[in-house]
Structure 1
């Protein structure tokens, strides 16, 4: 939950809006689309196309308008959240680390409730330090998997065939 004065909350909200504007601009470029094209396709109202990014940064888009753009550009909300909270760069949305982190987060969120249902007692949030330990072990396992794939891709693992 955000805490702070209305001024602090306003600064945080503006920062989030700016990051979303940067992310949407970047995704539009990657998909070779424009505000005009989105208006032609019915994603945006023609009358709302002008000043779109200014309104986005000001937080004055309607929720419906904002959601239609995100859906049209196929912006994954988990990856977008990671961009906003962790990576602080719109270009990190396309980074395989961001995509992998989102996939792991979704898989964990889907799996954890069923695992906990099998446990007795009431579940309590775990300590941040334990979360960091779990993250380190998970990221190490992902890195080892990547190294194994790279090794196989580069011809490794076939030494025995040429001995």
Structure 2
């Protein structure tokens, strides 16, 4: 029994060391995020009103019905939306933050969205930004489900849903 426990502990430590050596998805994502293409430059130059319209259109294209829109700060918007599907539906809180693409979104901002989702008893939170998320953000395990959409994924979703900039 002692040998079995010792082998299990050593195997666990080996797996932990192996996981620590692999690149985090956010670090890899950040590496691919740096090139400045035309679309990225256009996202950088969006006025807050244009960014709001873009986010509202994206939320509608995702199949959600918008029930409200609230400005937290000049470049931060909270959208409340509902998915009317009978079993999988429910309310969503979508936080949209317009920042320069080289600036990160920290875990405290995602935790704040998580708290809002809990307080509003929403089904899920969605965080959309033109920047990127720091490495600790995907490691947040507690709280309601939060979907993270960085600038790179935002541009991809805009192409998928055929949403023009501006």
> Is the TM value for this pair above 0.5?
no
More helix by share: 1
More strand per residue: 2
Q: Which has the larger radius of gyration?
A: 1
For normalisation by structure 1, the TM-score amounts to: 0.22
